[in-house]
């Protein structure tokens, strides 16, 4: 239920996908979320190979605004990756999938001289979870961690937007984990130009090809991918402001970012709300599991039918007690009072009698592409 709580709290933020309603069947909880059909950043990265620096900076700024909002509510997102960053029809970022989001306690700070230190018990969690390519070192080391992991993920996503691959990437997870923990971060000396995607470009914000990653972007990435979370850009009571004030974001008005007043550098080609051309065919063509199609529907139909049967029995009892013209069949051969059963069934559904379920929700974590996971064997003192 933590995902639902987070969604209910974040529904108003422009860069977070909001919850419109939720319902459940015997075994599953369903969320009805904002409709966003501009495609995942991952989808556009696959098409275009990589993004130009100005375009990547624009997305990083909108993601930073969203993370700052979550952190202000003491929520650690824990699964930032291109697959979870959607583009809306206008080209703005919308972060989705709060399955791993965690509400943590507020960080308690103490001072020693002119320095500020966080008290260890505040704002921390311990579950080993996330997506392998974007796991922060402290998560891999099974240490308790806080909001700093989200800033690490932002650095990894920015690196991927600029180069086409996450930092330290390897097809073998164990090798990749070793590289995350021990290898020096490297930047490609030269990069191929981005390819054209399915949409229009705003040259003033730019998807201008560059031969290499700029020095300011490199400095930002190095600082935010710092292995020691206490030294990482974004750590501390002023951490969010330090991220925003880094020279990589020089000239950005953060109020304008929030109000979506900057023209996006890329606008996906979306002809209508029914246009799914920016949705990866892997998901667009995926059949809906029969269990989802039938699970709630069968129960509701069965219970509504039972209510109608009971109403029919009551009607027959009335007819036996009070013989009258009410027994006259209508043109379709049904009794004129047949609507009693229908009305009763509808009332039961509207009042929530039909389909009431236990509040228990299974602990299965969404294994969306990108392979988010929660370790079943890590010691965690709280329920994450």
Q: State whether the Cα torsion 178-180-184-189 is positive or negative.
A: positive
Q: How far is Cα 354 from Cα 25, in angstroms, rounded to an integer?
A: 11
Tokens 């069968």 locate to 298
> What residues contact residue 220 under an 8 Å CB cut-off, 6+ apart?
155, 158, 233, 246, 247, 248
Q: Which of 74, 79, 172, 384 is catalytic?
A: 79
The answer to whether 340 and 315 are in contact (CB under 8 A) is yes
Q: State whether the Cα torsion 350-354-355-356 is positive or negative.
A: positive
The answer to whether 124 and 104 are in contact (CB under 8 A) is yes
- Write out the H or E segment, with its range, that includes residue 95: strand 93-95
> Has 79 been annotated as catalytic?
yes
Q: How far is Cα 123 from Cα 119, in angstroms, rounded to an integer?
A: 9
The answer to whether 283 and 36 are in contact (CB under 8 A) is no
Closest CA to 64 of 260, 226, 240, 232: 240
Task: Write the DSSP symbol of residue 347.
Answer: H
3-state secondary structure of 180: helix
Tokens representing 160 are: 């991927």
How many C-beta atoms surround the C-beta of residue 359 within 10 A?
A: 7
352 CB burial (10 A radius; 0-12, 13-18, 19+): exposed
Catalytic residues: 79
């Amino acid at each position: 239920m933590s995902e639902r709580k987070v969604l209910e709290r974040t529904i108003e933020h422009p860069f977070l996908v909001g919850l419109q309603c939720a319902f459940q069947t015997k075994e599953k909880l369903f969320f009805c979320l904002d409709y966003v059909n501009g495609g995942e950043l991952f989808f556009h990265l696959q098409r275009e190979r990589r993004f130009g620096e100005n375009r990547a900076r624009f997305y990083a700024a909108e993601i930073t605004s969203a993370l700052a909002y979550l952190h202000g509510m003491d929520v650690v997102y824990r699964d930032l990756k291109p697959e979870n960053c959607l583009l809306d029809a206008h080209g703005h970022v919308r972060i989705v999938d709060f399955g791993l989001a965690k509400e943590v306690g507020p960080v308690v700070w103490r001072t020693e001289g002119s320095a500020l230190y966080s008290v260890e018990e505040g704002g921390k969690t311990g579950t080993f979870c996330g997506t392998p390519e974007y796991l922060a070192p402290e998560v891999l080391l099974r240490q308790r961690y806080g909001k700093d992991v989200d800033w690490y993920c932002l650095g990894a996503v920015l690196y991927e937007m600029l180069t086409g691959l996450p930092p330290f990437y390897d097809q073998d997870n164990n090798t990749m984990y070793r590289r995350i923990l021990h290898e020096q971060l490297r930047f490609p000396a030269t990069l191929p130009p981005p390819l054209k995607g399915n949409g229009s470009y705003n040259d003033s914000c730019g998807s201008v090809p560059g031969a290499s990653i700029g020095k300011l972007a490199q400095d930002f990435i190095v600082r935010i991918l710092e292995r020691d979370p206490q030294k990482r850009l974004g750590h501390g009571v002023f951490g969010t402001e330090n991220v925003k004030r880094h020279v990589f974001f020089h000239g950005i008005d953060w109020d304008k970012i929030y109000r979506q007043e900057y023209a996006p550098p890329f606008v996906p080609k979306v002809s209508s709300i029914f246009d799914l051309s920016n949705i990866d065919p892997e998901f667009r063509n995926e059949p809906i599991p029969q269990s989802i199609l039938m699970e709630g529907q069968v129960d509701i139909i069965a219970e509504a039918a039972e209510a109608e049967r009971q109403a029919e029995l009551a009607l027959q009892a009335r007819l036996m007690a009070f013989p009258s013209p009410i027994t006259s069949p209508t043109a379709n051969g049904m009794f004129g009072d047949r609507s009693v059963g229908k009305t009763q069934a509808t009332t039961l559904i509207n009042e929530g009698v039909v389909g009431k379920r236990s509040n228990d929700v299974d602990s299965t974590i969404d294994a969306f592409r990108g392979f988010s996971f929660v370790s079943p064997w890590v010691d965690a003192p709280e329920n994450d």
